[in-house]
Amino acid sequence: MLQHLQLHLKRTEILNLVDRIVARGQHAVWQRVRDRVASMSKPHARGYIRVRAALVIERELSIAIAQMDGLNDIQTQYVHELVRDELIERILSDAGRLSRATQPLRRAA
């Protein structure tokens, strides 16, 4: 029971950490990709964001890990993957909203 509670708390801590890292890095990544990503197909945009976000993720993850105790290498890799995936999804969502907002309105004849 205690072990299960510890695992649950650790998972909650990790998910909170992921959210903080993504929030800190999202603007920097958006600045890097915003001019091109809206015109790309979704798979192409995912790859482009992944590459352009790599340095931002590494920097923010290093800062966060230094401030947190107790993450082993496996957990650090897991956090890295979660951050990368969540950041890609948020950037794609932002790009989709921007694309819809800038499309001209069509009027019925």
How buried is 33 (Cβ within 10 angstroms: 0-12 exposed, 13-18 middle, 19+ buried)?
Answer: buried
Any domain includes 30? no
**Using a CB cutoff of 8 Å and minimum separation of 24, what contacts does 98-107 make?**
98/34, 98/38, 99/38
Residue 12: pLDDT band (50, 70, 90) is: confident
For residue 71, give Cα distances in angstroms to 14, 48, 54, 85. 9, 29, 20, 19
Which H or E run contains 87?
A: helix 73-102
Greatest mean pLDDT range, 8-12, 67-71, 91-95: 91-95
Residue 36 has pLDDT above 60, yes or no: yes
Sign of CA dihedral 56, 61, 62, 64: positive
Residue 106 has pLDDT above 70, yes or no: no
Q: Between 108 and 20, whose confidence is greater?
A: 20
Any domain includes 5? no
Q: Between 39 and 22, whose confidence is greater?
A: 22
pLDDT (0 to 100) of residue 23: 95
pTM recorded for the entire structure = 0.78
- The pLDDT of 22-42, averaged and rounded, is 92
Any domain includes 27? no
Any domain includes 109? no
Any domain includes 50? yes
pLDDT (0 to 100) of residue 49: 96
Residue 5: pLDDT band (50, 70, 90) is: very low
For residues 71 and 6, the answer to whether their CB atoms sit within 8 Å is no
Any domain includes 35? no
Q: Which domain holds residue 57?
A: 40-65+80-86
Any domain includes 92? no
The total number of structural domains in the chain stands at 1
Residue 101 has pLDDT above 60, yes or no: no
Any domain includes 60? yes
